[in-house]
Amino acid sequence: MIWGRDTEPRSSILFAHRQIILIAALIVGGGQALGQAPSEDSYDYFRLNCSSCHTIGGGDLVGPDLKGVLDRQERDWLIDFMLDPAGTIDGGDAYAQEIFRAAKGQYMTKIPSLDRAKAGAMMDLITHESGLEKSVFAGMQLSDRPLTRDDEKLGRKLFLGQAEFAAGGPACNSCHTLVDLGGFGGGRLGPDLTSAYSRLDGRKALSAWLSAPPSEVMSPVFADHPLEGDEVLALVAFLKHAAASGEMEAESLTMDFLLASFAGAALVLILLDLAWRKRYRATRRPLLNRTRAGKATR
């Protein structure tokens, strides 16, 4: 049929036209999907593991400002660095060495549970936040009021466990020590914090670190027990006072502790022996001794 021959090409053209429209819609839709805001899980992960050392548009803290970081280095390199910061630095990479020097020789903490997928999600979040006029991670909203002697006193009590944290977190001296704590000092699981204030370049970076500790030990502990703003300021004041001593770290009291332990154990044994000096000791030997003594007097 003439009608059939005429309409078959038109149908093919119409089908092809529809396919082009569909492909274009998919491309546009995909572009919109890529431009969507990161998930809430990504924000929570960054807040918990990254915000203590980095801002996005708020300046350097312990680590560099991440605003526009993908303009400074390739995405794959950044992901590899996040997965193994120490290995990348020790491997001699020039850019990693530059970051290491800027951080005063401090290695970036390896983030707990981080894998390549999560690292990619962090890159997407940083890209998204870098494009905003002001990122939610531009910096902490802590009071900039002067630190007082009362802050320092409260900080000491919180550090020693003499005052409890509002959210129920453990006392600092469970794992850390510093100068002038008295007694046998604090714990040795974590680093000595005597010079933490100067090592982290002062109040801003230290406050950020205390608000969301990124270490593999502290991160899971304080995730559900975050410090309040006044508690952070109190600890900063106390650590600032400790840094002013000029000491780099507290004197090791391990030997003193061991000697005191042995002396205490010996004293306890002596006291127990004195308390039980009239206890029942034996039957046969005292009888033999008395018999021999009687024979000797005859």
Whether 152-243 and 40-130 are alike in CATH topology: the answer is yes
Reported as a pLDDT band with limits 50, 70 and 90, residue 56 is very high
The fold for domain 152-243 equals: Cytochrome Bc1 Complex; Chain D, domain 2 (1.10.760)
pTM over 0.85: no
- Which CATH code of 2.60.40.1180, 1.10.760.10, 1.20.1250.20, 2.170.260.10 fits the domain covering 40-130? 1.10.760.10
Higher pLDDT, 6 or 242: 242
- Find the range with the poorest average confidence among 54-63, 77-86, 153-162: 54-63
Residue in 99, 50, 77 with CA at minimum distance from that of residue 214: 50
**Mean pLDDT of the region 69-90:** 94
Half-sphere CA count of 9, side-chain side, radius 13 A: 4
* Residues contacting 158, CB < 8 A, separation 6+: 165, 171, 172, 231, 234, 235, 238
Beta carbons of 174 and 190 less than 8 angstroms apart:
no
- pLDDT of 5 above 60: no
